Structures are given as structure tokens and as C-alpha cells.
Structure 1
Amino acid sequence: MQQWFKDAKLGIFIHWGIYSVYGIAESWSFYNGGISYGDYMKQCEGFTAKNYDPKAWAELYKKAGARYAVLTTKHHDGVALWDTKLNDLSVVHKTPAGRDLIKPWVEAVREQGLKVGLYFSHLDWSHPDYASIYREDERENLANLNRNRFTHPEGEEDFEAWERFLKFHRGQLKELMENFHPDLLWFDGDWEKSADEWRMKELREYLHSFNPNVVLNSRMWGYGDYKTPEQGIPIIRPEGPWEFCVTVNDSWGYQPDDKNYKSVRQIIRMFAECIGMGGNMLLDIGPMEDGSIDPEQEKRLLGLGEWIRRHDEAIYDTEAGLPPGHFYGPSTLSKDKKTLYLFCFDRPYDDVPLKGIRNRIKKITALGSGMELGYKKLGGAPWLNIPGILWIDVPEDAIDKDCTVIKIELDGEIDLYRESGQNIESN
């Protein structure tokens, strides 16, 4: 796992493809029968990318506070956004866009100093050789299998066809690695075949032959580098490196009827909870077919970025904060473990409590305004090294409208009281 990923905190996810023409669900709309495959693919005729400005996109990511971005190069529908030489199913050959959309995006993202991530679907519901074999557990239960023509073979299994598909799959990944040199590959669609059928161990080694430092997400049957919970924020901190991917409304791609947008404050809350548990947040937007970004989506990215700039000290170059029980909210800790940052989402009606800190306090400030805050410690038994509760006074003019961050400077590395309490027999 590369250190840049663990330090990144925020990435921007971009789902863009022909599905933005009708504003329908990417790939799943035809898989689940909401639209015929033929009508879905007719969207190629309306995908123009005429207002596509990758430099403006990359500037927006930067303003949002992101350190990396991930763009869909090919979703489950099989339509590539680059000029693949393995077939002609690409925006270059099948749409009025008529050009490679990945290369200028990669260049623009790197110009902004951000890391480049490329989304790639292992499965391909348009490829004639994909639905050629069953997964092992399906093979043992064919009588009860819920079949789908895009996934399961018609008639007998064709293992030669599967070998052809794997050659195609590896060939497209080779193009991405050699043409664009991504820092991260964000895979999807591994579940329809097993790790052995995908030859995932071999695939990991193959990708590392192009770049031993490329970061791989978890959609590789255990051969990836980090976990990717999506849409539902973890309640318990995942083990190891992780990233929470979430949409700005309810849809991954552009759907004009989806007005259920998360507010800037809600996005900030999710983000603070992610970094407080040591993870990243990958926030998804869906551009329109012409390459324009919906103003409502842009507004939320800019709002998040404004808040991050006021509090970047508490975000970058920090690690997961306090374990549960010490503070009623997320927190982060400086890498030298001498400064603690508390994230307060709501106006306090009383002082803000912090429990279990044994250190002497050097100074407490509201990070956004720089205002020094008063505090007092009540209770405890210092002669037994049992700390009292630290009560921090946060006046109205120190409160941030989106999320107040309290900076606590300690007299050394944080020293936490993590016991269940005891009788005090000597006072």
C-alpha cells in the first residue's frame, strides 16, 4: 500500500458514459430489464462530449480538496472511453464524441498534482465471449439458477471462449497501464466469476509487472490493497486501509430526475467520520453526456472544499483519532500524536466534554477562526492517574457553520485512559 493513498483523505469518483444520454442507471438498466439492450446502446448516437473540459474538471477536484480522482474507463456495458484496439466498442468509434476521453483527463489531473485512478469493470456484458462459463457454485446448482443472458452461457459451457475473454480482459488492462500509467486501478464486477476463474493472483502479478506501485482496490477476490465499502458509512472501523465511496445524490451516473442531493454539511459529516476512522472518502459525481457538470453537484464539491481549506491542518497529515467513548463525534490525531482535533457538527448548549486524556493541555483553539478557547478539568483522581473530564467552552462566535474543529495541543504524545474504572480507596 502506497503512503500517498493513506494520506490522501479525499478522492473524486466520476461515472461518465453513454448512460448519461438518457439519464438512466449505468449498465444495470438493461441487465435488470428496465430498457432493452438495443435501446440502451442507442445512447451511443447521442453521446457528444461537446462541452468536455477535463482541465476544468481537474480544477474542480482540486478546489474540492481532493488528492486523487477516479474516472470510469469502461463500465459493465463494455463501452470504452479510450481508443481500445481490442474491439470497436468505444466512444471513439461508436459515438459523436469520436475521440479518446481518458488521455486529456489523465493529463489534466496530473497538472493539478493529483493522483490518477482509473475504474475498470472486469465483467463485460457486451462481449460475445463473456457469458461462456458458470461460477463453480452455480455449476453445482444449475436447476435453481436465476439466469441472465448477459452473464450465463446459452447451452453448454465454452471454456475456449472464456480463454478468449481473459485475453481480451488482460489486453485492455495492458492498454490502460501502458497508455495512461495510472496510480490506482479501481476494479468492479469481480463477483460473477471466481478468483480462480479470473486468475486474480496472476492478474495482480501481471499489473505489477507494469507498475509495482500501482494501488489496487478490493474488487479482486482478496488480491487488492484496500477495502471499498460503499453508500453505507461503516459503523465499525474496517481493518487496514479503506475508502468509503458514496454518491453526491442517489445515483452514480447523471440522472436528472434524482434531486435527492446530500447537503454540504451532510457530506462534511460523512467525510469527517471517514478520516476519523482512518479512511478516505471517494465522493462520486456524474457529468452530463456533453461533459457538463450539474451545478448542484459542483456546488457541493466547492462547499466541501471551502470547509477543508479552513481546516486542512486537521485533515491532511493526520491519522485516525480517538476510539469510541472519549468524545461524541469524530476526531483526528497529528502524526506526531501531540495534537488532537475534535469535529463538532452541532451547536453546543453547554461545554464540549472530552474524556480520558491524561496529558497536560498546552492550548485549545477553534481551528477555523484561531480563537483560543477556555477549558477546565473536573473530577478524576490524578494521584491514581485517573483523568477527569475536560470541559471546553465554545462560544457562539467560534462556531463554524458547517462543522467546528477544536484543536487541542498536548504536552507530549497522547496518553489515554482506557480502563473500566475502579474504587478510590485513598483520597
Structure 2
Amino acid sequence: MPMQPWFSDAKLGIFIHYGIYAVDGWAESWSFYTGEVTHEQYMKQLDRFTASHYDPAAWAELFARVGAKYAVLTTKHHDGVTLWDTGHRNLDVVRDTPAGRDLVTGFVDALRERDLKVGLYYSHSDWNHPDYPSVRHVGPGEPASPFSHAEPGKEDPAAWERYLAYRDGQVGELVDRFRPDLLWFDGEWERTEEQWRMRELAELILAGNPDAILNARMLSHGDYATPEQGVPLQAPDGPWELCLTINDSWSYRPTDHDYKSVRRLVRYFTETIGMGGNLLLDVGPMEDGTIPAEQVERLEGLGAWISRHADAVYGTVAGLPPGHHYGPSTLSADRRTLYLTCFDVPREAVSIRGLRNAVRRVSVLGTGAELGHHVTGGLDAVPGVTWIDAPAAADLDEYATVLAVELDGELDLYRGTGRD
């Protein structure tokens, strides 16, 4: 199935890790799996999860205002606690927490009110389900947690069948009730594709919603790649998104104050879209459902930069390959305008190497100031260097300055080794 066109032009999505782990600020699911806290301590958070100020309409307003085009909510993390009223029950916030209500329906409705695409995260693995640790997929020398794997010789195929029926039932509910535009799976590393029965799961999803996009954690049935926490040096083949935290944590951790600055987020964002990807920027709401002020501040800072430079963001594709410009760039869909990002204050001139096109006009995005330009060098088929005059101080952006370079035709680059 061809990829839905909205995804590649979305550029910015918001990831939301929200669940009982926000009560005490422990790492989502992993804190009991790795022994940071006991399983008993972790599960006691169920008794104090209220979502008392949960306002999905306010979330959606914020996400739309900062320029995001989709958002992805953790409907069930590895701890197995679902955020919706599931008929395939193990643990859920409706019956097992003071929140006492379905939190997914409001999220979906609020996003659609703002014309945002709906993404739902679901973990294949479930470290609290009694039937989950019934088979094994452990490499040589790897530890096998009792939360995730059966002990050798104690595999239970019938229990695994029950678990797959439970998973399929829950995923089927998400598709039928919410018709998500995107399903974001996780936890796939704990089993093989055959154990997960990924083909059957993909068929189930697409029968219910043929337009649903699936991430690469559906293994060979995924539509796009999901690198985490660092811009890849080489873009993955096909569509992709970079999953990035605002501080160092996916979920709310009050002890984590290592927030990325707005300038750094702009850098991650421009590097990502310059390589043709989307940025899926994560927030971790507090237990009551409010997003911490430090996270809102950074979303708004990034959103303000995007608003000032929207022409270089939406309706663009990946820009110049490395070596042609010292910084990321994007290219308009008609391939006739290059957008060059400059993180540092340009000194004297900004250069483009290997540009065969003549340049019609260069301006500073956001202020419209026109810049002079000229070409030096070049021989036969080898183009010279295009030099663009540095913008005046008044035209520089606080975080990253973007130059719009209008070409005399579609982008034409020289990629050779020069004349012998």
C-alpha cells in the first residue's frame, strides 16, 4: 500500500507518554522491569492516578498552535495499563484507578477538532499480563526477565494463544472505535515476527482501516522507520520520523531537569526535515494530565520559529546532500527554491557548492531582506561556488536564520570529482 501523503509533509508530530507512571515520576514500565523500584511499588500508583485536570482540548490547541500535524498517545505501554475502556481486560484506568474514565476518546475527538491526525501507541508486550511470559525469544547470553519470558522448559503455547487473542482484541478495538490515522507499535524486540503473527495483525488492522499507517515496529509490515534520540547520519530508506524527548525522559520525571533549549530543538528539527524526516517530539504530562510548564515553553519556542519559517518547512522535501552547504536545507516541492539554514552568524558570505542553476533571487525568510549573490570559479561542466552576502544583524533569527534561494529552474546539482 502506498504511504499516505499527509505523513511526509507533517514535519512535526507530538508524542505523549501518559500513564500511571506519572504518579511518582518513575520511568514508564521499565522502572519495575529493571528493578529501579519494586513491582509492588510501581503498581501502587494505580491507586493515585486521577487525571483530574486532563484536558485533551487544551493539548490539541497547544499542538496545533506550535505547528504539529499529528500526535501519538500511549494507549497501552509495556505495563499493560490501557487508557481506554477495553472489553479485553487486564488492567485499565477506567476500572483500576480513580480516574475512572476512558481517556482515549477525548484525545481522538480533540485532535480531529483541530484537523490533527490521530496516532495511537500500543505495546505488543505486556509485562503484567499472566499469559505474556509463556514463550521465549532470548539471544545467547541475554537475561530473561520473568515479566517477559517463560523459564526454559516451562513454555505454554496455549497461554501464548490466549495472549495473542487478547492483543488482537485490543488492537481491533482501537481500530474499530477510533480509526486512527497511525498506529505506533512498540515492544517488538521480545518476540520473532512469526511469534507475534505480524502478518495476521497487519491484515486485521488494514481490514478495519485500509488507510492506517503502521510504524516499523510492525517489522516487515511497517510503513516507516522510527529512529530514537539522535538524528541519523544517513536517512533511512523511505519515510521516517525521529522520536526525541524534550529532556532525557519519555514520561514525566520531576527529577529530570536536563531540558533541551529551544535553539537545540530547532537544530534537531531542521536537521531532521532537511533529511526528509518528521520530528516526533515527546512530552510527558503529570499525573493530573497537565503538561509541565518547561515542556510547554519549549514547544511554544519551537512553534514560533516554525511559524516564522513556514515556507521552509511545509510543502518541502529533503534539501542538499552533505557538502553543498554547511547546514541543513530543504527544497520546495516544485524544486525551484532552496531554503538554507544557518545556525551560526554568517561571516561575510554563505556558500553553495556544485549548484549548476543560476540564482534569480536570495532573501531572508521572515524579514524578506534581499541579499546579493555572485559566482566565482567554475570550468566547463564544473560549476563554481555560489556566494551569498551575509545578512545584516537585524535580519538574523535568534535560533536559526533561513535564506530562500530562488533558482532559474528545478535544482540541478553537480556531484562529480572536478576536472582531471
User: Normalized against structure 2, the TM-score is what?
Assistant: 0.97
CA contact (8 A) 1:91 1:99 kept: yes
1:279 equivalent in structure 2: 277
For 2:381 and 2:150, locate their aligned partners in 1 and report how far apart those are by CA, in whole Å. 68
- 1:84-117 per-position Cα deviation (integer Å, ceiling 9, x unaligned): 1111510101111100000001000111111000
Aligned in 2, Cα 1:96/1:149: closer, same or farther, shift over 3 Å?
A: same
CA contact (8 A) 2:382 2:419 kept: no
Structure 2 unmatched runs, 5+:
none
- Does the residue aligned with 1:166 lie in a helix, a strand or coil? helix
2:17 counterpart (15, 28, 31): 15
Q: CA deviation at 1:376?
A: 1.7
2:237 matched to 1:232? no
2:382 counterpart (367, 383, 386): 386
1:114 counterpart (88, 113, 116): 116
Where do 4+ consecutive residues of structure 1 move more than 4 Å?
none
Which stretch shows the higher mean deviation, 249-258 or 214-223? 214-223
- 1:153-196 per-position Cα deviation (integer Å, ceiling 9, x unaligned): 14511000000000000000011011111000000001101000
- 1:183-224 per-position Cα deviation (integer Å, ceiling 9, x unaligned): 000000011010000011121111100011100000022210
CA contact (8 A) 1:237 1:277 kept: yes
For 1:198 and 1:104, locate their aligned partners in 2 and report how far apart those are by CA, in whole Å. 30
Q: Which residue type is aligned with residue 385 of structure 2?
A: I
Q: Which residue type is aligned with residue 391 of structure 1?
A: W
1:409 counterpart (406, 410, 416): 406
Q: CA deviation at 1:280?
A: 0.5
Q: Which residue type is aligned with residue 306 of structure 1?
A: A
- Does the residue aligned with 1:342 lie in a helix, a strand or coil? strand
CA contact (8 A) 2:90 2:129 kept: no
- Does the residue aligned with 1:379 lie in a helix, a strand or coil? strand
- Does the residue aligned with 2:121 lie in a helix, a strand or coil? strand
1:299 counterpart (297, 300, 310): 297
2:394 equivalent in structure 1: 397
For 1:240 and 1:276, locate their aligned partners in 2 and report how far apart those are by CA, in whole Å. 14
2:132 equivalent in structure 1: 130
CA contact (8 A) 1:88 1:94 kept: no
Q: CA deviation at 1:386?
A: 2.1
2:307 equivalent in structure 1: 309
Q: Which residue type is aligned with residue 399 of structure 2?
A: D
- Does the residue aligned with 2:331 lie in a helix, a strand or coil? strand
CA contact (8 A) 2:80 2:90 kept: no
Q: Which residue type is aligned with residue 413 of structure 2?
A: L
CA contact (8 A) 1:64 1:306 kept: yes
Q: CA deviation at 1:46?
A: 1.1
2:145 matched to 1:148? yes
For 2:164 and 2:144, locate their aligned partners in 1 and report how far apart those are by CA, in whole Å. 22
Q: CA deviation at 1:350?
A: 2.1
CA contact (8 A) 1:228 1:245 kept: yes
CA contact (8 A) 2:240 2:277 kept: yes
2:101 equivalent in structure 1: 99
CA contact (8 A) 2:351 2:388 kept: yes
For 1:317 and 1:37, locate their aligned partners in 2 and report how far apart those are by CA, in whole Å. 47
2:79 matched to 1:69? no
For 2:49 and 2:401, locate their aligned partners in 1 and report how far apart those are by CA, in whole Å. 43
2:161 equivalent in structure 1: 163
For 1:149 and 1:386, locate their aligned partners in 2 and report how far apart those are by CA, in whole Å. 63
Q: CA deviation at 1:145?
A: 5.1
CA contact (8 A) 1:12 1:68 kept: yes
- Does the residue aligned with 1:387 lie in a helix, a strand or coil? strand
For 1:180 and 1:310, locate their aligned partners in 2 and report how far apart those are by CA, in whole Å. 34
CA contact (8 A) 1:9 1:275 kept: yes
For 1:172 and 1:32, locate their aligned partners in 2 and report how far apart those are by CA, in whole Å. 26
Q: Which residue type is aligned with residue 343 of structure 2?
A: F
1:323 counterpart (302, 321, 324): 321
- Does the residue aligned with 1:8 lie in a helix, a strand or coil? coil
* 1:17-56 → structure 2 map (5 Å cutoff): 17-56=19-58
For 1:235 and 1:416, locate their aligned partners in 2 and report how far apart those are by CA, in whole Å. 21
For 2:356 and 2:144, locate their aligned partners in 1 and report how far apart those are by CA, in whole Å. 61
- Does the residue aligned with 1:380 lie in a helix, a strand or coil? strand
- Does the residue aligned with 1:178 lie in a helix, a strand or coil? helix
Q: CA deviation at 1:147?
A: 2.4
Q: CA deviation at 1:275?
A: 0.5
- Does the residue aligned with 2:204 lie in a helix, a strand or coil? helix
2:359 counterpart (347, 358, 361): 361
| Alignment root-mean-square deviation, CA | 1.1
- Does the residue aligned with 1:388 lie in a helix, a strand or coil? strand
For 1:229 and 1:291, locate their aligned partners in 2 and report how far apart those are by CA, in whole Å. 27
2:265 equivalent in structure 1: 267
| Pairs aligned (count) | 416
For 2:162 and 2:235, locate their aligned partners in 1 and report how far apart those are by CA, in whole Å. 41
Q: Which residue type is aligned with residue 199 of structure 1?
A: R
For 1:221 and 1:363, locate their aligned partners in 2 and report how far apart those are by CA, in whole Å. 46
Q: Which residue type is aligned with residue 128 of structure 1?
A: P
Structure 1 unmatched runs, 5+:
none
2:61 equivalent in structure 1: 59
Q: Which residue type is aligned with residue 172 of structure 1?
A: Q
For 2:97 and 2:284, locate their aligned partners in 1 and report how far apart those are by CA, in whole Å. 18
